[in-house]
Structure 1
Amino acid sequence: MTFAFMDQVRGSSLAARAIRSSLLMVGGFGFSQVLRLTSNLILTRLLFPEAFGMMALVTVFMVGLTQFSDVGVTPAILQSKRGDEQDFLDTAWTIQVMRGISLWLVACGLAWPTAAFYGEPQLLHLLPVASFTLVILGFRPTRMDTANRHLMLGRVTVIDLGTQTIGLIAAVTLAWATGSVWALVASGIVSTLAELYLNSRFLAGGRNRFRWERAAVEELVTFGKWIFLSTVCGFFFSQADKLLIGKFVPLDQFGVYNIGFFLASFPMLLGGMVTRKILIPIYRENPPKQSRENFLRLRKMRCVVTALLMLMVGVFALLGHWLVDLMYDDRYLMAGAVTVIIAVMQMPQIIVQTYDQAALAAGDSRSFFVLALTRAVLMVGCLLIGVQMAGLFGALIAQGVAFLLAYPVVVWLARRMGAWDPIHDALFALMGAGLALVAAMVNWPAIAALADSSF
């Protein structure tokens, strides 16, 4: 059995590359989360809850800027027939650089109205400095996308872990020296500079130069216009909780919410990374519509990925409250119930997230946009209703309701791509319902206390 597995891992076939890349990503992700947890535990003792709430507002603002201007450079390189041509890559890189500089200028202009909207004057200074990382990110080499396109992620993973380690050291050192939220801002800039240097220095591939090839621009724009709209919707889908909870609950509670979200989001982060980096190349080379063999191969892969993610999210659903009690002090006690509820609410999304990338792999960014729009509308609408009716508790429940309501559109997209697998969905829906019931029974006192405090 062991030798057969090793034989599968070796070689240059798609299956071998996919297995190697998946193992590297899972290993890298695990180490990355250890770093994140270590950083989080140290920083929560050096800083104060309001600092994490403030940084969450800065982060959601930067994510918004990034997604409101995403023209799909990375997925375009991953799926394009010209994805290995230097002229195409240089044109994509030029667009990326221009975008990064433009985003920083926009961030500077929006700092004052954002500070006024949230009633936090410190944002006036934090946002322009923190958003300078967008300029740095604009210069990231396309070598990263090339490595991803060919599922050659070993060196990329090592560099990513090195970058995170540098960021952790910078954050802890600066937090110890200053005790200020500025430590988190400065460490972000340090880690981004480190990422740019390491990727430029140690990844194989040609050096990017400024280039504007008309044919490449046309292809990027044609594919990217729907990606742009999809990422705008994706921003509201993924960040609506931060926007609305940050507006309607006190800043210290918002900081506690982010601690709970930080713990419960591990499985979702891993699943999202796998689907983005692994599934587009696999779907591109083995379209499920092409043959029953392809579909069955994808079913096997999908079941393995979903089972592992459901087990992970189940651990946080069952043990989230205990983990918070173990690792954090009394200021973050409410984060335990938040962790449990978020883990349970994410189960529907865990089940279906392997379908999304099939449309992008087929070049159908328009169908991907329809799904993204539906999810965004449902998430914003459910969160508005939930937070108004029941505060933080209502906002947590609303996220799970939004995931469930989006399922019919997920099925529509998956059927168009020939990827829908009702047996897979039904099996893991039953598994998720069982885990959710047990988690609610085990953690009911903490959940009830959070609900009482929200009304």
Structure 2
Amino acid sequence: MTKRKFLTPPRSWQIHANAAGWIAATYAAQQIIRLFSSILLAWLLAPALLGTMLLINALRTGGELLTDVGIGQSIVNNRRGEDPAFFNTAWTIQLLRGALLFFVALALTVPIAHAYDKPELLILLPAVAPLFIFTGLTSPARFLLQKRMEVRKLALFDLGSAVFGASAQILLAFLMPTVWALIWGLLIGTAVPAIASFFLIDWRMHRLRWEKEAVHAIIHFGKWIFLSSIVYFLAMNFDRLYLADVIPLALLGIYGIARTFADAVTELFQRLGNFLIFPKVSATGLRGAELSVAIAPMRLALLGVVACGLALGVALADQFIYLVYDARYHDAGFFLSVLLVGTWFAILSAMAEAMMMGIGKPSGVAFGNGVKFAVIAFTLPILLPRFGLNAAMLAFVIAEAARYAVLAWRKRRTGLQFLRHDVVLTLAFFALIFLFREATSLLGLTGGVSDWVREGMQVHG
């Protein structure tokens, strides 16, 4: 019996490591740009303006995700992805989807403005609607580069787009500190990269095309992505859509600041899971108890370091907000502390999702997001009117914990058992938060845990 080899050839490993390095480095740079931009815009603009854009962006994301049929993924996945007939058909579908979203956005402007009782949306939503045209026009070249594993070129293009978009918004906010700076910045920051995308490949390759076989393949493949996108959107954006209707836009803008930082941490570990754990698990060929034994040391060491770093982040989150934002945004400090507690469970979930994907069990991921959405949709409307926004932040901690519990249960059924490790790590995480907070209090950097509790009892919303 020949011994099975799990290692990839050195040259292949080097290529994948190089690709992962470019993705990780440019992603980190994009997050730094995003957070730096968030801080500058908060200094230049009023919280209500940021709250307005938070709602508009949530609605925009909803339109894009709720009509996502996996056009780009189809190009990457399909063996005919580089066939001009196939990718031009995909581009034509994308154009039609963008035009459809543009007209739907115009048609829904009045109902949405009335539903939120915000008349300013009657002007702002039509102003943002051309965004769908720009995204529809964007070349499928990005997905061809992804298929060809030309990661460096794609990563640099994405980084350049992020720099340009952030610069446009900051410059416009400095020149005209109104919501129109954000609107025009968003439009310009989308239109220019859309045009530039045509030069990632030979721009003369683009043609309007409608091949029935390609259409069938894209729709057939995309139906699962469509369902997954709906669940993901509801899980990640329900809070923004709900809070925009029940709290002032200024408070929503402050909440958005906290979400920006908490989401950045979560997204980082989702990337690590996707680009390190997922391929590692897939490549080993191990399953069940053997996989648990093989991956447990690396997982335990990584999460141990994360628990220490994140606990320190929770303990100092409010002080960080006080340092980099003016007094208008200081309420975001407590919001961020609580959201980062939820981030711990989100990181555990990201590790679980990567392993589930690695062993070919993606259904657990959608199921976990569905449970997260259900918990937020149930608990947030109960906690907010009774106890205020500070207490309502607990809905996100509960939702992330529930998502992790579902994934841990699904993972256990496959023979992957890390529950004992996770319980110990979670207890250590909470103990470290307490110790860091009290230690920084003794150093005069923060208030103690009792001050935290008093702040949490204040009612907002």
TM-score (norm 1): 0.84
The match for 2:256 is 258
Q: Does the CA-based 8 Å contact 2:310-2:340 persist in structure 1?
A: yes
Q: Find 2:388's aligned residue among 387, 391, 408.
A: 391
Q: Secondary structure of 1:71's match? A: coil
Q: Larger deviation: 67-76 or 357-366?
A: 357-366
1:199 equivalent in structure 2: 197
Cα deviation for residue 221 of structure 1 reads 2.3
The aligned runs of 1:176-215 (5 Å cut-off) are: 176-202=174-200, 207-215=205-213
Aligned length: 446
Alpha-carbon spacing, 1:77–1:351, altered in 2? closer, same or farther (3 Å): farther
Code of the aligned partner of 1:63: T
Report the alpha carbon displacement of residue 378 of structure 1 after superposing the two structures with TM.
2.1
1:285–1:377 CA distance, 2 compared to 1 (3 A): same
Q: 1:421 to 1:150 in 2, by over 3 A?
A: farther
Query: Residue 347 and residue 40 in structure 1: after superposition, are their counterparts in 2 closer, same or farther (change >3 A)?
Result: same
| Structure with max Cα Rg | 2
Deviation at 1:213, TM superposition (A): 3.2
Q: Tell me, yes or no, if structure 1 residue 157 matches structure 2 residue 155.
A: yes
Q: 1:132 aligns with which of 130, 133, 143?
A: 130
Which residue identity is paired with 2:406? V
Secondary structure in 1 aligned to 2:458?
A: helix
The alpha-carbon distance between structure 1 residues 318 and 282, as it changes in their structure 2 partners (threshold 3 A), is same
Residue of structure 2 equivalent to 1:349: 346
Counterpart amino acid of residue 395 in structure 1: A
Residue identity in the other structure for 1:16 = Q
- 2:376 maps to what in 1? 379
Of the three residues 320, 327, 332, the one matched with 2:317 is 320
> Could you say if the C-alpha distance between residues 287 and 57 of structure 1 is closer, same or farther in structure 2, counting changes exceeding 3 Å?
farther
Aligned to 1:229: 227
What is the alpha-carbon root mean square deviation over aligned residues?
3.5
Equivalence for 2:140: 142
Quote the Cα distance in structure 2 between the aligned partners of 1:58 and 1:254.
12
Q: Is the 8 A contact 1:318 1:439 kept in 2?
A: yes
User: Greater shift after overlay, 245-254 or 296-305?
Assistant: 296-305
Distance 2:294 2:153 in 1: 28
CA distance in 2, matches of 1:95, 1:416: 40
The verdict on how the C-alpha distance between 1:94 and 1:415 changes in structure 2, with shifts beyond 3 A counting, is: farther
Contact 1:91 1:210 survives alignment (8 Å): yes
CA distance in 1, matches of 2:245, 2:171: 31
Equivalence for 2:458? 452
Name the SS for the 2:119 alignment partner.
coil
SS at match of 2:133: helix
* Equivalent residue letter for 2:143: D
Unaligned runs of 5+ in 1: 1-7
Q: Quote the residue 2:400 is aligned against.
A: 403
**Is the 1:88–1:213 Cα contact (8 Å) retained in structure 2?**
yes
SS in 2 for 1:453: coil
Q: Which residue of the partner structure matches residue 330 of structure 1?
A: 327
Q: Distance in 2 between matches of 1:134 and 1:17?
A: 35
1:339 counterpart = 2:340: no
Structure 1 distance, partners of 2:347, 2:45, is 33
- Tell me which residue corresponds to 2:444: none
Deviation per residue, 1:11-30 (Å, 9 max, x gap) = 641x3344323322332233
Counterpart CA distance in 1 for 2:66 and 2:219 is: 15
CA contact (8 A) 1:79 1:284 kept: no
C-alpha offsets along residues 111-156 of structure 1, whole Å, 9 cap, x if unaligned? 1111112221111111122232222112333332243345542222
Q: What is the rounded CA distance, in whole Å, between the counterparts of 2:148 and 2:109 in structure 1?
A: 40
Aligned 8 A contact 2:369 2:403 in 1 = no
Check whether the contact 2:141–2:200 (CA below 8 A) recurs between aligned residues.
no
**Structure 2 unmatched ranges of 5 or more:** 1-6, 442-446
Greater shift, 319-328 or 346-355, is seen at: 346-355
Distance in 2 between the 1:198 and 1:56 partners?
27
Identity %: 24
Provide the C-alpha distance between the structure 2 equivalents of 1:260 and 1:41, rounded to a whole number of angstroms: 11
Question: What is the TM-score with the length of structure 2 in the denominator?
Answer: 0.83
